Chains A and B, each alone.
Chain A
Amino acid sequence: AMQPPASGEPFVLSASLDNARHLSNLLRAVHFQDHATCFATASGLRVTVEDAKCIQANAFIQAELFQEFAVQEESVIFRINLSVLLDCLTIFGTSSLPGTSTALRMCYRGYGYPLMLFLEEGGVVTVCKIKTQEPEDLLDFDFCSTKVVNKIILQSEGLREAFAELDMTSEVLQITMSPDKPYFRLSTFGNAGSAHLDYPRDSDLMEAFHCNQTQTNRYKISLLKPSTKALALSCKVSIRTDPQGFLSLQYMIRNEDGQICFVEYYCCPDENITEAEL
């Protein structure tokens, strides 16, 4: 075990993880901006990334996933450069050879202090100190279950290819959810023409289908495209919309050790709706 030299303030956050990949993979799934806000409570760590005041992604790692996780204050919050954090976590390389893993110890003394990372692999230790910044206000999508109009849970396998091949010449991704046909439809309107991907409610991929009302909403495709990374890691995804058309995508991710963590994306519907042909 790596013990940092005892000196100065006590740590408000200290955590140990035998396999840093459990953290780095998850963080990559939300890495569409350079900066992220880290929020730690006794339940675990949440890393939030936002863009354009329209989209927010959260990666959750529960305290149980860590070998050690201690938070001394009610909550600890700081802003950090996510690109740098990922580079440090993967300092021993990103390829996962079987049997080898990077061990991680993370320490933070509080406001104004850097985040300290101790990474060890094969007897080699790297120490990183990453500056932390003032946390910024985060969007509150206020997405609670009581407000959900439509919800489906799909096996990720069925959506992976679709998202990877989305027609990026389309400005929007249109999502239709309905108790009637087409049930669940993803549409793009690109240079070549329009494309629709339909998932019937009785498809083997459909784990749950609770659509009460026909809703069609459009979201900027450039904002949703990064969620493809989370989709690639996940085994299941839940797709929910509220009365205003706000979208919640929740990805269930099983890590190498079979432990479950979650990534969620929230997105506002696109205001500039131009009449697109179907």
Chain B
Amino acid sequence: LSRIGDELYLEPTASGLSLRAVNSSRSAFASFLFAPLFFQLYEPGGPAPGTECFRCKVHMKSFLGVFRSLPSLEKSVGKCLILLKPRASRLVLQLHCKYGVTKTHNLAFQECEELQAVFDTQCCSSRLCAPARVLAEAVVHFPLTLAEVTLGTGPGGKISLRNYTEDEAEPSKTMVTELWLAEDEFQSVAVSPGSCITFCLKEFRGLLTFAEASNLPLTIHFDEPGRPVIFTLDDTVLEVHLVLATLSNLESNSQTPLTNGVSHLPTPSDDFADDLGSYMVALETSTCEGGPPSPTFPLHTPRPAQRDPEEEDEEDEEGAVPGTPPHKKFRSLFFGSVLTPGGPGLAPTQEVLAEDSDGEC
């Protein structure tokens, strides 16, 4: 989760403890749901009737700081107690260690709104499932500095992975790495032939590392370019989702207005020299029922000032991997906020789609 965002969102629910993160450009979202059975003891301390679940967020670094030096942790820590104390505004993490020693960390948290990207794996036309190892071994061929990778389906059920290069780049000066995986390397393949999607590799690598360590098969749900790609890991006590925005094709340019009240957005201008020449397709707020294709519109990304690049780089163990580069090209994922019909038209320079709505239950 720290590969995605700087803040860790915690939400204890009846179905388990949900940990989530989103990146600054809101083009990547991940959630880990630990079922009650994962824990020795799980008491969500349900909300009083009529109130919503308690949610909070803490600084990722503060939380990770409690669990530093993993090898020694495994040797010396017997159990970990997590307590959420709303009245004291503290998240308590207590490690019970060898020799009767107890380490108690009282982390300050902030209450927050729900963080939930809108996505539906049922809507995806393609699905792949492979052991994490297969994908990890494939991804290792790409340099750590590579920002985006393109996953494609080819003839004979083969799946390709290729590094994504920008159109402006000189073909003679760029190195292209492409590899093909046979259908039998996958546990299941149900794909639309000829489809391909491009997404951010860095955020995906984070999940891959986790998947490999936990030995779980990874399922990739995807659809047309521009629609988010959803990576899932499933286990009896853990459900993981990673939702990444994907690059849309320049060709797909339809602009049918959405039916649920989202304002009609202006057509993309031909002059997109300022942008990196990418258009994105928005997610729909309503659940997908084979609705009309979403409009595409110019990409206007949040200014880099919103993200602290040094901070992100510091968190990176590899060091060479840049901060989330696609925030220049990838549109924000739609985050389930309810826009009022006929609401203010979004100015082309405003990219406020991931609104945090107030008073959401």
Contacts and interface: CB of A to CB of B under 8 A. Distances in A.
A193 B108 contact: yes
A196 B103 CA distance: 6
A202 B101 CA distance: 10
Nearest to A158: B99
Given A165-B69, A192-B62, A193-B90, A204 B105 contact: no
B59 interface: yes
A193 B107 contact: yes
Interface residues of B, number: 19
B72 A195 contact: no
Nearest to A157: B99
Nearest to B95: A197
Contacts of B72: 161
Binding site secondary structure of chain A = loop
B108 A202 contact: no
Contact of A195 (B76, B100, B103): B103
Contact of A204 (B59, B100, B108): B100
B90 A203 contact: no
A195 B68 contact: no
Given A161-B72, A165-B68, A165-B69, A193 B62 contact: yes
A202 B100 contact: yes
B61 interface: yes
Given A192-B107, A193-B107, A195-B106, A200 B100 contact: yes
B350 interface: no
B100 A193 contact: no
Q: Among B59, B62, B105, B107, find the residue whose CB has the most chain A CB atoms closer than 10 A.
A: B105
Contacts of A198: 101-104
B155 interface: no
A259 interface: no
B49 interface: no
B234 to A, nearest CB: 33
Contacts, number: 56
Contacts of B106: 193-196, 277-278
A199 interface: yes
B65 interface: yes
A195 B69 contact: no
B7 to A, nearest CB: 13
Contact of A197 (B68, B76, B90, B103): B103
B101 A205 contact: yes
A192 B108 contact: yes
B61 A205 contact: no
Interface in A167-216: 167, 191-200, 202-205
Contacts of A158: 99, 101
Contacts of B107: 192-193
Interface string B87-119: 000100000000111111111100000000000
Interface string A137-158: 0000000000000000000001
A199 B100 contact: yes
Interface string B69-94: 10010001000000000000010000
Nearest to B108: A193
Q: Which of B59, B76, B99 has the most A CB atoms < 10 Å from its CB?
A: B99
A167 B100 CA distance: 21
Given A161-B72, A165-B68, A165-B69, A193 B101 contact: no
Nearest to A204: B99
Nearest to A161: B72
A89 to B, nearest CB: 32
A192 B103 CA distance: 15
Contacts of A161: 69, 72, 76
A186 B68 CA distance: 18
A161 B59 CA distance: 23
A165 B90 CA distance: 21
Nearest to A192: B62
Contacts of A203: 99-101
Contacts of A199: 99-101
Interface string B27-64: 00000000000000000000000000000000101100
Interface string A237-278: 000000000000000000000000000000000000000011
13 contacts: A158-B99, A192-B62, A192-B105, A193-B90, A194-B105, A194-B106, A197-B103, A198-B103, A199-B99, A203-B101, A205-B99, A205-B101, A278-B106
